[in-house]
Structure 1
Amino acid sequence: MTHRPLPRPLNFAAVFLAAALTVELLDELVDGATGAAWPLVRQDLSLSYVELGLLLGLPGILVNLVEPFLGLLADLGYRRALILGGGVLFAASLALFAVAGGFWPLLAALVLFYPASGAFVSLTQAALMDAEPARREQNMASWALAGSVGNVVGPLLIGLAVTLGLGWRAVFALLAVSTVVALIGVRKSPSLSQEAPTGEKLDWRDAARGVVAALRRGEVRASLALLECANLTGDVFRSFVALYFVDAVGATPAAAGLAVAVLTGVGLVGDVLVLPLLERVPGVRYLRASAWVTAIVFPAFLLIPHLGAKLALLGLLGMLNSGWYAVLQARLYASLPERSGTVMALGSVAGMVSGAVLLGLGAIAQHFGVEAALWLLLAGPLALLVGLPRRASLGSR
């Protein structure tokens, strides 16, 4: 009997897609679990708020100085080594976090984790984008869905571990072991390797000139700007939701927690629904339509005083924001074909701008109230309506 080979989507693309999505799932499981575990960690290790602030802020500042160089190294042909090495350090940092007995071991674990995540997770995303250029939007939507699942399940793991009497350390030990298992699967994929775009050997000067040249291109600058604008009603909005419900709406902390759960839970449903939608509708068309609706729903959410109505509109906002990052990030990769490391480097630079935006919003919230700060987030969907092309391009169908 002659055995026919499996179609390529099954024996190649789907296998690597599963491995890549596992990496993103693990990264967001860590993110969700860490956010939920901080009160327990602070209590167990007797951390001060100053120490907690350093643990939350310092690693993020340092990683933005390191990641651009990781992106350049990836474009120089070292992507596979960076991903595998990053995976090893990713697991090691989680293990160190699990056994840390005080502030300094925790700081060391996080300083190690952030660049390890950049090498392991961000460059795996880049490899996924290069593996199937024609399906960037769909694969990025799957990537975003895996991240949403991790963000929801991570806090549940902490709650379950505490309920069972295992504590937060057991969760991070489990995540470290899971990373090793995922790394074994990723290691077998040939999609991790990358050659220079035209076959010539690049050097540092070529890679650096490539980043500068990319920034000079209007479509690249536009893609970076639109990603940051889309994030205003995404992660930035999510960061302020609980504070808004407590300080501006007058809700209880329990109701504020419910609001966050509604936003993330419905957002997860939206990430599921956007997958088949992007198979049928060009990503740019979907973004323009959802941005129009968001530009109407977001002011209504801020203006309507009734708590139940606010929660309903909040869920709708979570649904509407689904797919924004996926489509825009896919377009950025498409604008720099075979320069996915450069995309990572540019993303780190943009991340510094995002941090400055958060600082500015915090200052506005301090002086004028959190509701005033949230009104400024309306600039996100309005910028998409102005900046998105009216016709699909750059690989969008």
Structure 2
Amino acid sequence: MSHHRLFFRAASSALLLIALSIELIDELVDGASGAAWPSIRSELSLSYLEVGLLLGLPTLLSILVEPAMGLLADAGWRRRLILGGGSAFTAALALLAAAGGFWPLLAAWALFYPASGAFVTLTQAALMDADPGRREQNMARWALAGSLGNFAGPLMMGLFVSAGAGWRPVFVLLALVSALALLAAWRAPALLGPSGPQTETASLRALWQDGLDAARSALRRADVRGALLLLECANLLLDVLRAFLALYLVDAAGSGPAEAALAVAIFTGAGLLGDALAVRVLERVAGARYVWWSALAAALVFAAFLLVPSVTAKLILLAALGPLTSGWYAVLQARLYGLLPERSGTAVALGTLGSALGAGVPVLLGLLAQRLGLEAAMWLLLLGPLALLLGLQRAAREAAR
């Protein structure tokens, strides 16, 4: 094997390790913060309105800022944005640990969310660019790292709180770990992409206009629009189902709150197992084929989940559904990057806009549940796997032509 190929493999492995560490930390923060809200609200005497603002306003700010960062990343600013975002990410965690009231918390979260977009999402783009032939496999590893973080974060927070240490040391620890990940990224500048020669000569306005033109051009393509749509459709049996699962079991299926909580834990744990299996499966099976067959099986299992009256049977079917939906995000997100091989930042920007539109789905589902009942509204989630079946089949026919 030549020295060049050995260097490329070592560089790709190093970037993979750095990228997975950054994603793991981000999801540890997400899981830990979700579990910390009762303690934070009690200690700082926050109202439910203030908690809602703390959760909603930073998310809105991130949605507004992330597309611009994606476009600037393609203009040669990726390394600067990743390292700057990592610095802000670490600082925000330290501010969270020290916050003494609503306004300091709001400032910390308002810094954290856009910083996460720069540090985490653009690192994902760098990973996709580093080894185009293994996008699906590396995205599967990315999804597994995220699932591990989301699973371990609440456990870590629970251990600290139950030991009497409180929620603040968890964010201090995460800030320290984040600083280590940032140092690793900074020491591997070539892996994050050069600043780009045009950055030094072109004005920011010209670079921004170039990015906007590229985004408009990408959106004119039917395959790109289809890829964005499929990502949001896949989410119907992922985050949207998880959000409504406990409510459905209590209000429509007649279970108790404890059983509903168990169902969420089963679905999350089964998804984590599925993410681990997807890493191995995608080494052997083409991603589109894997998603098509798993979508077919998921549609049948979810329909059975809605039809069976027994809560125990529903829990068993949830345990089967979790692994079936694993790998969807990895394959579909890798497909979007593959459609825009020289514009990974544009893929990030368009993906953020698609997610912003997809944020209206829970609202629509809630409105339908209000009018038709939650049980009837849940059947609409079947549109997710059905759209994957039709969309991937159509894409395969077009590719064959």
TM superposition score category, shorter chain reference: over 0.9
Q: Distance in 1 between matches of 2:397 and 2:284?
A: 16
> Residues 94 and 172 of structure 2 are in contact (CA less than 8 Å); yes or no, is this contact kept in structure 1?
yes
Aligned counterparts, 1:285-300, within 5 A: 285-300=289-304
1:197 deviates by: 11
Aligned counterparts, 1:1-397, within 5 A: 7-8=6-7, 11-189=10-188, 190-194=190-194, 203-389=207-393
Which residue identity is paired with 2:252?
A
Query: Deviation per CA, 1:81-136, whole angstroms, max 9, x where unpaired?
Result: 10001001111111111111111111111111110000000000000000000000
Which residue identity is paired with 1:193?
G
Secondary structure, aligned partner of 2:283: helix
Q: Distance in 2 between matches of 1:186 and 1:50?
A: 38
1:390 deviates by: 6.3
Secondary structure, aligned partner of 1:280: coil
> Residues 290 and 321 of structure 1 are in contact (CA less than 8 Å); yes or no, is this contact kept in structure 2?
yes
Secondary structure, aligned partner of 2:359: helix
User: Which shows bigger deviation, 339-348 or 215-224?
Assistant: 339-348
Q: Distance in 2 between matches of 1:194 and 1:325?
A: 28
1:252 deviates by: 2.0
Which residue identity is paired with 2:341?
P
Query: Deviation per CA, 1:168-202, whole angstroms, max 9, x where unpaired?
Result: 11111111111001111112221211576999967
Secondary structure, aligned partner of 2:282: helix
1:338 deviates by: 1.6
Q: Which runs of 4+ in 1 moved over 4 A?
A: 194-202, 390-395
Q: Distance in 1 between matches of 2:168 and 2:374?
A: 35
Which residue identity is paired with 1:192?
L
Q: Distance in 1 between matches of 2:181 and 2:322?
A: 30
1:15 deviates by: 1.3
> Residues 25 and 149 of structure 1 are in contact (CA less than 8 Å); yes or no, is this contact kept in structure 2?
yes
> Residues 92 and 176 of structure 1 are in contact (CA less than 8 Å); yes or no, is this contact kept in structure 2?
yes
Q: Distance in 2 between matches of 1:127 and 1:206?
A: 20
Q: Distance in 1 between matches of 2:347 and 2:95?
A: 30
Q: Would the alpha carbon gap of residues 394 and 78 (structure 1) be closer, same or farther in structure 2, given more than 3 Å must change?
A: farther
Which residue identity is paired with 1:161?
F
Which residue identity is paired with 2:278?
V
TM-score (norm 1): 0.94
> Residues 228 and 351 of structure 2 are in contact (CA less than 8 Å); yes or no, is this contact kept in structure 1?
yes
Q: Would the alpha carbon gap of residues 161 and 9 (structure 1) be closer, same or farther in structure 2, given more than 3 Å must change?
A: farther
Q: Distance in 1 between matches of 2:223 and 2:306?
A: 33
Q: Distance in 1 between matches of 2:337 and 2:196?
A: 16
> Residues 80 and 195 of structure 2 are in contact (CA less than 8 Å); yes or no, is this contact kept in structure 1?
no
> Residues 96 and 109 of structure 1 are in contact (CA less than 8 Å); yes or no, is this contact kept in structure 2?
yes
Q: Would the alpha carbon gap of residues 8 and 279 (structure 1) be closer, same or farther in structure 2, given more than 3 Å must change?
A: farther
Q: Distance in 2 between matches of 1:195 and 1:182?
A: 20
Q: Distance in 2 between matches of 1:267 and 1:278?
A: 16
1:59 deviates by: 1.2
Q: Would the alpha carbon gap of residues 194 and 357 (structure 1) be closer, same or farther in structure 2, given more than 3 Å must change?
A: farther
Structure 1 unaligned segments of length 5 or more: list them.
none
Q: Would the alpha carbon gap of residues 170 and 198 (structure 1) be closer, same or farther in structure 2, given more than 3 Å must change?
A: closer
Which residue identity is paired with 1:337?
P
1:278 deviates by: 0.6
Query: Deviation per CA, 1:53-85, whole angstroms, max 9, x where unpaired?
Result: 111111111211111111111011000010001
Q: Would the alpha carbon gap of residues 152 and 268 (structure 1) be closer, same or farther in structure 2, given more than 3 Å must change?
A: same
User: Which shows bigger deviation, 53-62 or 114-123?
Assistant: 53-62
1:10 deviates by: 5.1
Which residue identity is paired with 1:280?
R
Q: Distance in 1 between matches of 2:394 and 2:233?
A: 18
Query: Deviation per CA, 1:212-245, whole angstroms, max 9, x where unpaired?
Result: 0000001100000000000010111111111112
Q: Distance in 1 between matches of 2:213 and 2:376?
A: 41
User: Which shows bigger deviation, 279-288 or 34-43?
Assistant: 34-43
Which residue identity is paired with 2:293?
A
1:389 deviates by: 3.5
State the percentage of identical aligned residues.
Answer: 59
Structure 2 unaligned segments of length 5 or more: list them.
none
Secondary structure, aligned partner of 2:164: coil
TM-score (norm 2): 0.93
Q: Would the alpha carbon gap of residues 216 and 100 (structure 1) be closer, same or farther in structure 2, given more than 3 Å must change?
A: same
Query: Deviation per CA, 1:279-335, whole angstroms, max 9, x where unpaired?
Result: 111000001100111111111101111111111101111110000000000000000
Secondary structure, aligned partner of 1:289: helix
> Residues 331 and 394 of structure 1 are in contact (CA less than 8 Å); yes or no, is this contact kept in structure 2?
no
> Residues 21 and 181 of structure 2 are in contact (CA less than 8 Å); yes or no, is this contact kept in structure 1?
yes
Which residue identity is paired with 2:243?
S
Q: Would the alpha carbon gap of residues 394 and 268 (structure 1) be closer, same or farther in structure 2, given more than 3 Å must change?
A: farther
Q: Distance in 2 between matches of 1:262 and 1:272?
A: 15
The number of residues matched between the two structures is 393
1:358 deviates by: 1.7
